[in-house]
Structures are given as C-alpha cells and as structure tokens.
A and B are shown apart, each in its own frame.
Chain A
Amino acid sequence: MDYAIIVEELTKRFGRFTAVDSISFEVKKGEIFGFLGANGAGKTTAMRMLCGLSIPTSGKGSVAGFDIMNQTEYIKRNIGYMSQRFSLYEDLTVWENLRFFAAIYGIKDKEIERRGVRVLQELNFYEERNTLVKDLPLGWKQKLAFSTAIFHRPGIVFLDEPTGGVDPLTRRQFWELIYQTADSGITIFVTTHYMDEAEYCNRVSIMVNGRIEALGSPANLKQQYHAESMDNVFQQLARV
C-alpha cells in the first residue's frame, strides 16, 4: 500500500508546553483523511509541521515521500494548501489570482493558460475571470481557493477548516468538489469543526490535548464508542 503521509511519534514543544505529543498515523494515497480536534488540541501545529512550515521537536515523518525534517522544500512543491480563512487576493481578478499562484509553483505560461481556462470552465467561472475576487460571493471564493490550491496538481492537498462560515448548500457542493479531486488521485487532508463533514471522510483521527485519541473509519469509530453519530463520538472523547 502506498502512503501519502507517514508520521511516527511526531512531537512539537514550545518551551515547556507540548502542543503535539508523539502522534503516529498514516494516510493512504487518494484517501480523504479527516483530522479532527477541538480548538487548541494541536491540529494546526501538526498540520504546519506536515506542510513544512514548522520543524518538529522530535519524531519522524514523510509527506509525499519527502522527509519533514530536512526536505521541506520538496514537500512544499508537492502539496496544496487552503487555509481556514478564505485567502486569495481580494484586489486581484479571478484570473490574476490563478495565474499568480500557478506562477509561483513554476508552471509555464502556456500551461497556465490551457489549464486555467479548463478549470474555470468546469466551475462555470469562465465568464467571471476578469471580476475582482472581492466581488464574488463567499461560496464561489471558496471553490476558487480550492481550485487554486490544486492547480499545480499536488499529491496531497491540506484543507484547514475549508468550509467555515459557508451555508449548508455550498458546503455540500464543496464536498462534491473534494470527492472529485480525491477520485483524480489527490490525497485530501482536511480539518473541520463540522461533525457531519467528518462522516464524509474515509478515515478520521480525533486529537485531544496534543494526542490522537481515536483513529479509524467513521463507521468503525461509531461502533467502537457505541455512538449514533460522529458528533457523539467526539463528545465522548473531548469530555475526558
């Protein structure tokens, strides 16, 4: 089995505070992996280490086949990232945003043109390519941000609470986009607050106080904790 992410006893300490406490897990290629946890559980810190933004205090790990200790430059080239706050340049147009982010990943102009047109057509955004991003509705922005994150065809895409503040219908559409992307072979690593979204994942892990307390498919976890929903599983773990 091919793994997109392998992590062994990954730890991050800030002074005397241990943000991430010896976590271990694997994410298979093409999998949708939900990374859950309450605020302050250490999700973001763990994710930053995986993205090459932060060097682990100890432990081992590889992302897209590259070591997270000393090959962060290669990791950065092979991952996509979408942050919890919607983040594209509001004062640039749809096309300018797409072109800028493609260019910093070193994609050639011709290729940007070809791929860009197709991506925008698939999203039915082509007409809006010269619209400033700030004039788009939030749901559109989010889809555009996602398309930008996977534009350079990364092996893995990290989504940090991608659906925060979006209405249920748009969330549903967004998840369809995620499924399409996973079908095309891109591994999805997603954090979320919405427990109904956790059900959409192939497997989830739940972090509590810097440790992974539960890991498995939503169905297995529900069985293990005798719960009806993921929400209930989460409640049981987080309360301890």
Chain B
Amino acid sequence: MKQFISFVNKEFRHIFRDKRTMLLLLGMPVVQMILFGFAITTEVRNINICTPQTWNYDPQIRIMEGFAANPYFNITGTIGNSQEIDEVFREGKADLVIVLDAQRTNPAIQLIADATDPNTAITEVAYATRIIHEAQQVAVTAIPQGQIIPNVRMLYNPQMKSAYNFVPGVMGLILMLICAMMTSISIVREKEMGTMELLLVSPVKPFSIILSKAVPYFVISTANMLIIILLAVYLLHVPLVGSMIWLSIISWIYILVCLSLGLLISTVAQTQVAAMLISGVMLMMPALLLSGMIYPVENMPAILEGVSCIIPARWYIAAVKKLMIQGLEITYVAKEVAILLLMASFLLTVSLKKFSLRLQ
C-alpha cells in the first residue's frame, strides 16, 4: 500500500511540476465552455433582414412591427424593386428578405432566404414564420371554425439554447481528452525515458503501475467534471435537473472507458508524439464529429451511424443529456449505462492483457 501511495504521489508531482500541462488540464474545460457558450453557437442571432419600403394594411403592419421588435432580427435596409433583392444578397446586407403583396384582398408574404448555409436558412425562416403567425393570431380575434392552430411547446429547453446541447458534449470531449490522451502520454513517457524498464525490474506489479497512473487523472477528471457543471449552471444557466449522484456515477464509468482506451494506446505507441496523434485522430475527431455533439446522429448516413455506436462519447453524451437536462430517472439511461459498462470491461480486459503481454 505504501508503495502504491508513493507511486501516486510521484504521478501527481509529475503533473504539478509541468505547469503548462497543468494549465492545459484545468484551463481547457473553462476555455471550451466559454467558446461554445458564447462564440460557437448553433443558435441563429443577428439575422439581417431587408423589408419593403411601405406597408399599409393591418396584418402587414403588425407583422413588420413584430420583426422590428424582435431582438433576433436587425432591419438593415429596404427594398424598392425586385432587382434590389439580388443586390442586397450579393452585398451581404441581408440574410432574409421580406416581400409583401400590395393587394389588400390577398395579403401574401414572400420570404427569400440566403440558403448558402441551409441549416441557418431553415432556422431563419422558421423564426420569421413564427413572427408572422403570431401577428396573424392577434389580428384574427375570432378563430374561424375548423381551423387548427398548433400550440407548440419546446420541452426541456424552452428558449432553444444551444448550451443545453453542448454542455454534455464538452463533458464527453474533455473527459476523453484528459483520461485517454494524458494517461497514454504519461505511460509512453516512461517508456521513452527508459524509466519503465526500472519499474518493470522492480517488485512493483504492472497492474499497480497502471493503477497509480490512472488515479491522478481520475481525480483531475472529476475536478473537471465539477468545473464544467458549475460553469454550465452558473455562467450559462443550464439547469441541472437530474440527480448529481447518477451523473457522477455514469461519468466515472465513462472515465473508466477513457482510461482503458488510454492504456490501450500506450501499449501501441512508442513515443509521446505518437500517443498524442493516435488519441487525437482516433479518439478526439470521432468523439467530436460522430458523437452527436455537433451533428445529430440520426441525420448521418447508415454507415456513419453504425460507426458512431462504437464511440463511447456518443452514449455518454446521450446519457448526460437525459440525466442532466431532461431530469430523467436512471432507468431511462439503462441502455447507455449498460453499453458503457460493456465497453469499459472489454477495453480494460484487452488493454491489461496487451500490457502484460508486452512485458514478455
């Protein structure tokens, strides 16, 4: 036991002495949260619109007032004739152009959007349509019989904040980075420096070497998880609806998966650079692109969706969303937990086997 403690102690010293790594480990979650929270957001804001020069009739007036009052829209210009529509798009003055029909009897509205970025265009149009609908609803005091007006509620995220989506994503990403990358680097560093030889000829058990490497990163990951949750709740006002205990437990399972991945990488990589590249390319990229953090898994081609199934981050992020944002009971994430546990036991067995095999 004393052996083990002095081993863990040494690992902590390695980490604390390396100020840059230390800064990276603890600064990264903060930077990522701030980046994703304020800079990189999938919300569409500041939509530039160009409107007709004049509008006279009642529903049109209300509609235009609606746009003027909405904080998401900026009116950047007016359109006199149809040539100007092309012009404002080309000059980048408008993301959306509203065209009104002057006829009083047929108050039609045309929305013209810049669809270079289709996702943004769709969102912009949806916002605009909503404003138009609201204006109409006020206008029509008595609902004609037989007309169905949908009453939409956005559950769990009524303000449609993207933070609700990326907080679980950042957790999945950061924990993966710290556990897998840092563990593999710290093991490979011992190989590179030649100190691994010294440890292997000593009476220390290989398993104990691994375990003592894992402990500090486990602690740091837990600290990072807390930092992310605190930032999410107090800075980005993402609610923590679900149980903190279950959230921690599932995070620890995920950390275990990542630690075993790191161990597996360390048995393959010979240099620290290689370890970094492997964990960067093989773990980070898929975790970023295929986990559902940025692009919804459901929209992927079948093959990629299949690939995404073997990415631990996908299941972790899904579970965190359910637990943290939706506040669901643990029984609803049983599938995710089961898959992560399965991954953990598989990866741990394989990597421990490979690690002790390498000693022969």
Contact = CB atoms under 8 A, between A and B. Distances in A.
Interface of A: 51-55, 73, 76-77, 79, 81, 83-92, 96, 99-101, 103-106, 158
B17 interface: yes
Contact of A92 (B13, B198, B201, B202): B13
Contacts of B10: 89, 92, 96, 100
Given A89-B14, A104-B3, A104-B7, A79 B194 contact: no
A79 B17 CA distance: 31
Contacts of B152: none
B342 interface: no
B14 A91 contact: yes
B20 to A, nearest CB: 12
Given A106-B2, A106-B203, 18 more contacts: A51-B201, A53-B200, A76-B203, A81-B197, A83-B197, A87-B195, A89-B14, A91-B13, A92-B10, A99-B6, A100-B10, A103-B2, A103-B6, A104-B3, A104-B199, A104-B202, A104-B203, A104-B204
B18 interface: yes
A86 B359 contact: no
A87 B360 contact: no
Interface string B181-208: 0000000000001110111111110000
Q: Which of A51, A77, A83, A99 has the most CB of B within 10 A?
A: A83
B3 A83 contact: no
B201 A91 contact: no
Contacts of A54: 360
A90 B193 contact: yes
Given A86-B194, A96-B10, A81 B201 contact: yes
A53 B18 CA distance: 31
Contacts of A53: 197, 200-201, 359
B19 to A, nearest CB: 11
26 contacts: A51-B201, A53-B197, A53-B200, A53-B201, A53-B359, A76-B201, A76-B203, A79-B201, A81-B201, A87-B194, A87-B195, A88-B195, A89-B195, A91-B13, A91-B18, A92-B14, A100-B6, A100-B10, A103-B3, A103-B6, A104-B7, A104-B199, A104-B204, A105-B203, A106-B3, A106-B203
Interface of B: 2-3, 6-7, 10, 13-14, 17-18, 193-195, 197-204, 359-360
Contacts of B7: 100, 103-104
Given A103-B2, A103-B6, A104-B6, A83 B204 contact: no
A81 B6 CA distance: 20
Contacts of B2: 103, 106
Nearest to A55: B360
B202 A87 contact: no
Nearest to A109: B2
Nearest to B212: A104
Nearest to A96: B13
A69 to B, nearest CB: 13
Q: Which of A51, A103, A106 has the most CB of B within 10 A?
A: A103
B64 to A, nearest CB: 67
Nearest to B10: A100
Nearest to B197: A83
A83 B198 contact: yes
Given A53-B359, A77-B203, A104-B203, A87 B6 contact: no
Contacts of A73: 203
Contacts of A99: 6
B193 to A, nearest CB: 6
A167 B83 CA distance: 84
A92 B190 CA distance: 13
Nearest to A82: B198
B209 to A, nearest CB: 9
Given A55-B360, A87-B193, A105 B200 contact: no
Q: Which of A51, A89, A106 has the most CB of B within 10 A?
A: A89
Nearest to A99: B6
B14 A101 contact: no
Q: Which of B7, B18, B201 has the most CB of A within 10 A?
A: B201
Nearest to A152: B202
Contacts of A91: 13-14, 17-18
Contacts of B201: 51-53, 76, 79, 81, 158
Contacts of A87: 193-195, 197-198
Contacts of A55: 360
Nearest to B209: A104
Contacts of A77: 203
Contacts of B13: 91-92, 96
Contacts of B14: 89, 91-92
